[in-house]
Amino acid sequence: MSWLLAVIAGTLLPALVVRAQAGLAQMNPFFAFKNSMESGGPAAVDEQVRILHEIGFDGFDNRNLDDLEATLEALDAQGLKLYSIYFTVRIDPGEEHYNPRLLAVLPLLKDRGTVLWCNTHSKRFQPSDSAGDEYAVPIFCEIADLGAPFGVRVAPYPHLGLWVESPEDTARLADKVDRPNFGTSFNLFHWNALGERKCPLEEVVRLIAPRMLLMSINGDIGPHNIGPLEEAKIDDYYTVLKAFRDAGYTGPVGLQCYLIPGDPREHLGQSYAVWKLLAARFN
């Protein structure tokens, strides 16, 4: 009898463990914006990345193409990823549309899964004015086509007051650019900042979730109403993240950290602790 019980245990218990593990929700990768280190962090990028690694973040982003080589070297040393580059695009005729260094540095980004997250400017067109699509779409097609051989993806960054201002703008452009490596994105702060003009969450998710490459979350107690994640607001973060996850989004989530004062170890540690609580709730 004892040998029979041992056989049953040896057969059933591993299967039960696998089944239990399969029931756990896989959490999205979580990375910090570059500006998490710009209001009190160390100047050296390798020290910045070391802080992120010690806290538990999965990666970082980068400002335009500044110090890209050093950032990649530091991330590789700590086993972290470069999830996004905050990349400036200008759509008006006669302007330099994007950093001309892009073509030279694309080989550094090969097969890293990095997204060029494009803050998109125009002096000619008002925010969300689709008349600018005539000029913007060829520029985005060009950037996407340049990035495609290296596995680099592209998404507009919805930013209050810029030409791409809302998540719906990113969906409209994704329809027109029509490239496999061009998608949509969501920024919690800039969506909330639209106030009465913002599209309801359910509609935003319907429009952008199938092609979404990046999203970000933030706390709202702090300068410019951007602060560390707060445990008291965890229901709000959960509602937004769950809506996108239920729609199939498994991609990275960035932590916006604009002008948060003090030691980044403290505010990033606070945000990461709330992120772990979110993960526990999903599990």
pTM over the 0.85 mark: yes
- Closest C-alpha among 127, 247, 119 to residue 197: 127
pLDDT of residue 223: 62
Domain segments of the chain: what residues?
26-282
Question: What tokens does 154 get?
Answer: 């592209």
Q: Residue 55 burial (CB < 10 Å; 0-12/13-18/19+)?
A: middle
- Closest C-alpha among 92, 90, 80 to residue 118: 90
What is the chain's pLDDT, residue by residue, as a tens digit (283 residues)?
A: 444 444 334 444 444 344 333 445 699 999 999 999 988 889 999 999 999 999 999 999 999 999 999 999 999 999 999 999 999 999 999 999 999 999 999 999 999 999 999 999 999 999 999 999 999 999 999 999 999 999 999 999 999 999 999 999 999 999 999 999 999 999 999 999 999 999 999 999 999 999 999 999 999 876 677 999 999 999 999 999 999 999 999 999 999 999 898 899 999 999 999 999 999 999 8
Question: What tokens does 98 get?
Answer: 């994007």
Gap between the Cα atoms of 251 and 81, Å rounded = 13
pLDDT of residue 22: 41
CATH 3.20.20.150 for domain 26-282, yes or no, is yes
